[in-house]
C-alpha cells in the first residue's frame, strides 16, 4: 500500500473541544445532505446524458446490431434465472416463495425481509431488562463513557492536521500530540473527495447552527485536486458532509439552475469560483471571516466565510498560483507566489493598483512573512534556494530583483519550510532530497545547524508548533505517509544556537529518538559539530505515527 502526506498544520492549544461530539443525523441535517446529494446526482446525470449523446453519434449504423446482441444477452440471463431450483433443501429455509409477503399477525410466519421483524424489537429503558443495550466493562462503567474518555482532548494537547493519500483513498487525519508523554496518535479522520493539496485551520465557526458567527471555532478548510474548497468542523467526528463548500459545488439548486449555461463553460476562469486544483489556502487572523485561496487556474480568490461566497477574484499571475501568506501587521496585504517565477505583495482593497513584484530563478514553492520582522519575507524555489527579501525595496523590474540574501539550502526543490514563530532566526527547510535542515539566521545570514534524514521520504510538510510551550517541536511528513514530531531542543547544536533566544529555557533534556533510528548521513555544521561530539551518544527526540 502506497501512501503520502501532502500537507500538515498545527492547531494552537485551547481551541479543540475537550470532548468532540459524535455526528448527529437529525431531520435538518438530512435535508441539508439530501440537497447536496441531489446536486451531485443532477451533475452526474447531466454528464451521463452528454456521454450517451456522444456515444450515440459514434455508433451510427451499428445500433441495430448492438441492440440485437443486447436482446440475446437478456434472454440468456432470463434462462439462467429460471434454472434456479426453489425446491432445493438449502433454499427452503429462507421461504423465498413468500419472501415479499407481509403478515402482521404475530406467530403466523413473520416477513423474512431485511426489516420484516422490526415490530418485534423492543426498547428497554433499564440495563437490567436488556443487558445488550448498554454493556458494562469490568470497572462497571458504560462503554459510551469509556469511548468519551478515549476521545478527550486536554488543554495541553495540540492537534496536527494531516492531508493524506493512501492508494485511491484521500482523507484528513486529525492527530493529537501529547507533549508530556511524547505521544502522537490519530484521533479521527475525515474522508475527502479528491487528493488534498492544502490545509488551513480556521478559528471561526462556518455554517454551524446555533452558533454565533463571531464565536471561536475549530474548523479546517481543505483544498484538493477538485476546484471546490471544503470546510469541516474538527470538533465533530464521523461527519458525512462538510459544513460548507466554497465553489461551484456549494451553489444551491436554484443557483445551479440559473447557471446552467455557465456551467458548461466551467473550465474557464471566472470571478465566482475556481475551475482547477486549489494549491494553497490562507486564513486572515485579524479579519477572521476572510479566507484566501490560490489555484492552478492562475487566480487568487477571497472568500467570505459568513456567506461562503467569493467576495473578489484576482489575476496577478500568468501561471499556477501555489502559495499565499497574509501580512500580520497589515492584514489586507497578501503575499502570493506562482509558477510564473514571481512573488506579488498586493493590497486586497486595491485590486486595480499595480502591486510590487519580485522575481526568482525558478518556480516558487512557498512564501512566508518573517514573523519577527514583517518588513521581510522568505521565498523557497524548485531549484532548492531560499530567498530573503525586503518589502521596502521592491524592484521596478522583477528580472532585476536583488535579495537581502540567497541560500542554496538543498540540491533539490525546497518543497516545504517554516520560520519558528517563538524563537527568532530559527528556520527549518524540507526537500524532495528527503532531508530536513535546521538553520540559524543572524545578521550575517543563515548558517546550517543540523541536517537530518527522518525517513519520511520526500519531505512535503515541515511546520513548527505555534505555542511557546512546544516552540521547539517540528512536525515533518512526506511521501512515506508517516507523521513525525521532532523535539529539536534535544539536539546539542540546536540548544547551543538558540538557547539564549528563549526567555525561559527549560531543563536540559537528554538526546533521544523515538521510533526513528539515527541516520548515518546526518551532518552538523562546523558551528555545532564540537558540541555534538560530546553529546551525540544519544539520539534526538522524535514522536512518530
Q: Annotate 193-228 with DSSP letters as a single string.
A: SS-EEEEEEESS--S-TTS-TTS---EEEEEESSS-
Least confident of 59-68, 109-118, 222-231, 275-284: 109-118
Whether residue 524 contacts residue 449, with contact meaning beta carbons closer than 8 Å, is answered with yes
User: DSSP readout, 310-324?
Assistant: EEEEE---SS-EEEE
The answer to whether residues 142 and 136 touch, using CB atoms and an 8 Å cutoff, is yes
Per-residue confidence band for 250, with pLDDT thresholds at 50, 70 and 90: confident
Q: Which residues contact 30 (CB under 8 A, 6 or more apart)?
A: none
Instruction: Give the three cell numbers for residue 371.
Output: 514573523
Which 8-state DSSP code applies to residue 488? Answer: G
Which is it for strands 21-22 and 236-237: parallel, antiparallel or unpaired? parallel
Smallest Cα–Cα separation from 139: which of 129, 149, 130?
A: 149
Contact between residue 221 and residue 290 where contact means Cβ atoms under 8 Å apart: no
> Where in the chain are the domains?
21-53+138-150+192-278
pLDDT value of residue 211: 80
278 or 33, greater pLDDT: 278
Say if CB 189 and CB 175 are below 8 A apart.
Answer: no
Adjacent-strand bridge partners of 345: 335
**pLDDT at 523 (0 to 100):** 46
- Least confident range from 2-6, 205-209, 470-474, 531-535: namely 531-535
The model carries a pTM of: 0.74
If phi > 0 it is left, if psi is from -120 to 50 it is alpha, else beta; for residue 523 that is beta
Sheet harboring 219-224: ordered strands across? Answer: 196-202, 219-224, 229-233, 244-246
| pLDDT of amino acid 109 | 46
Each residue's pLDDT tens digit, 59-115: 655 555 555 555 555 555 555 544 445 455 555 555 555 645 544 444 444 444 444
pLDDT at 462 over 90: yes
Task: Kindly indicate the confidence band of residue 37, based on its pLDDT and cuts at 50, 70 and 90.
Answer: low
Written as nine digits, the cell of 322 is 501555489
pLDDT at residue 286, rounded to an integer? 94
- For 235, residues 6+ apart whose C-beta sits below 8 A from its C-beta are 16, 17, 20, 21, 217, 218
pLDDT in tens, 376-395: 999 999 999 999 999 999 99
H/E stretch holding 158 reads: strand 157-166
Give Cα 337 distance to the centre of its chain: 20
Identify whether the C-beta of residue 316 lies closer than 8 Å to the C-beta of residue 355: yes
**Cell digits for 538?**
544519544
**Nearest C-alpha neighbor of 405 from the set 427, 422, 432:** 427
Among 491, 496, 531, which residue's Cα sits nearest to residue 511?
491
Asked if pLDDT for residue 329 goes beyond 70, the answer is: yes
Mean pLDDT, residues 292-302 taken together: 97
Least confident of 69-78, 176-185, 267-276, 339-348: 69-78
Q: Residue range 12-38: average pLDDT?
A: 75
Which one has a higher pLDDT value, 274 or 149?
274
pLDDT classification of 260: cutoffs 50, 70, 90: very low
Alpha-carbon gap, residue 390 to 361, rounded angstroms: 17
- Confidence at 38, pLDDT banded by 50, 70, 90: low
Neighbours of 271 (CB within 10 A): 12
* Grid cell in block for residue 110: 413473520
Q: Which three cell numbers stand for residue 139?
A: 470497572
- Which whole-number Å values give the CA distances from 253 to 18, 230, 273, 276, in the listed order? 37, 18, 16, 22
**Taking the CA atoms of the chain, what radius of gyration do you get in angstroms?**
29
Cα–Cα distance list, 258 to 239, 254, 261, 269, 427 (Å)? 30, 6, 8, 18, 50
- Percent of the chain at pLDDT above 70? 68
In DSSP terms, 499 is beta-bridged to: none
Amino acid at each position: 500500500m502506497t501512501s503520502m502526506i501532502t500537507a500538515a498544520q498545527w492547531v494552537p492549544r485551547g481551541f479543540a473541544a475537550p470532548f468532540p461530539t459524535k455526528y448527529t443525523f437529525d431531520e435538518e441535517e438530512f435535508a441539508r445532505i439530501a440537497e447536496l446529494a441531489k446536486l451531485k446526482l443532477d451533475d452526474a446525470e447531466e454528464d451521463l446524458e452528454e456521454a450517451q449523446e456522444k456515444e450515440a453519434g459514434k455508433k451510427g449504423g451499428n445500433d441495430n446490431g448492438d441492440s440485437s446482441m443486447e436482446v440475446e444477452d437478456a434472454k440468456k440471463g432470463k434462462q439462467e434465472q429460471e434454472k434456479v431450483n426453489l425446491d432445493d433443501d438449502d433454499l427452503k429455509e429462507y421461504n423465498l416463495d413468500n419472501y415479499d409477503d407481509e403478515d402482521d399477525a404475530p406467530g403466523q410466519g413473520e416477513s423474512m425481509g431485511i426489516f420484516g421483524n422490526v415490530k418485534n424489537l423492543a426498547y428497554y429503558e433499564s440495563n437490567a431488562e436488556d443487558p445488550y443495550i448498554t454493556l458494562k466493562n469490568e470497572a462497571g462503567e458504560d462503554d459510551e463513557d469509556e469511548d468519551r474518555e478515549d476521545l478527550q482532548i486536554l488543554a495541553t494537547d495540540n492537534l496536527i492536521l494531516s492531508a493524506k493519500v493512501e492508494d485511491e483513498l484521500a482523507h484528513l487525519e486529525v492527530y493529537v500530540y501529547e507533549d508530556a508523554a511524547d505521544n502522537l496518535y490519530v484521533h479521527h479522520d475525515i474522508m475527502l473527495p479528491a487528493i488534498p493539496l492544502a490545509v488551513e485551520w480556521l478559528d471561526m465557526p462556518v455554517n454551524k447552527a446555533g452558533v454565533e458567527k463571531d464565536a471561536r471555532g475549530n474548523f479546517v478548510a481543505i483544498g484538493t485536486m477538485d476546484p471546490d474548497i471544503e470546510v469541516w468542523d474538527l470538533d465533530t467526528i464521523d461527519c458525512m458532509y462538510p459544513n460548507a463548500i466554497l465553489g461551484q459545488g456549494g451553489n444551491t439548486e436554484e443557483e445551479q439552475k440559473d447557471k446552467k449555461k455557465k456551467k458548461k463553460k466551467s473550465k474557464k476562469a471566472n470571478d465566482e469560483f475556481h475551475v482547477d486544483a486549489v494549491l494553497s489556502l490562507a486564513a486572515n487572523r485579524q479579519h477572521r471571516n476572510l479566507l484566501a485561496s490560490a489555484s492552478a487556474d492562475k487566480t487568487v480568490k477571497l472568500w467570505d466565510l459568513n456567506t461562503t461566497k467569493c467576495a473578489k477574484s484576482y489575476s496577478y499571475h500568468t501561471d499556477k498560483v501555489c502559495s499565499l501568506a497574509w501580512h500580520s501587521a497589515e492584514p489586507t496585504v497578501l503575499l502570493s507566489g506562482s509558477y510564473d517565477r514571481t512573488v506579488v505583495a498586493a493590497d486586497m482593497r486595491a485590486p486595480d493598483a499595480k502591486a510590487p513584484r519580485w522575481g526568482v530563478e525558478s518556480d516558487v514553492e512557498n512564501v512566508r512573512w518573517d514573523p519577527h520582522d514583517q518588513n521581510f519575507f522568505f521565498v523557497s524555489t524548485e531549484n532548492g534556494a531560499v530567498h530573503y527579501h525586503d518589502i521596502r525595496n521592491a524592484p521596478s523590474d522583477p528580472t532585476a530583483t536583488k535579495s537581502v540574501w540567497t541560500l542554496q539550502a538543498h540540491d533539490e526543490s525546497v518543497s516545504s519550510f517554516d520560520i519558528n514563530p517563538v524563537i527568532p532566526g530559527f528556520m527549518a527547510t524540507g526537500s524532495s532530497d528527503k532531508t530536513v535542515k535546521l538553520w540559524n539566521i543572524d545578521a550575517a545570514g543563515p548558517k546550517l545547524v543540523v541536517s537530518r534524514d527522518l525517513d519520511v521520504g520526500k519531505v512535503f510538510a515541515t511546520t513548527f508548533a505555534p505555542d511557546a510551550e512546544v516552540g521547539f517541536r517540528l512536525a515533518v511528513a512526506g511521501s512515506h505517509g508517516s507523521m513525525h514530531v521532532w523535539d529539536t531542543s534535544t539536539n546539542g547544536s540546536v540548544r547551543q544556537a538558540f538557547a539564549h533566544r528563549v526567555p525561559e529555557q527549560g531543563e536540559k533534556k537528554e538526546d533521544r529518538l523515538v521510533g526513528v533510528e539515527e541516520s548515518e548521513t546526518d551532518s552538523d555544521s562546523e558551528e555545532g559539530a564540537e558540541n555534538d561530539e560530546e553529546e551525540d551518544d544519544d539520539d534526538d527526540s522524535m514522536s512518530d505515527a
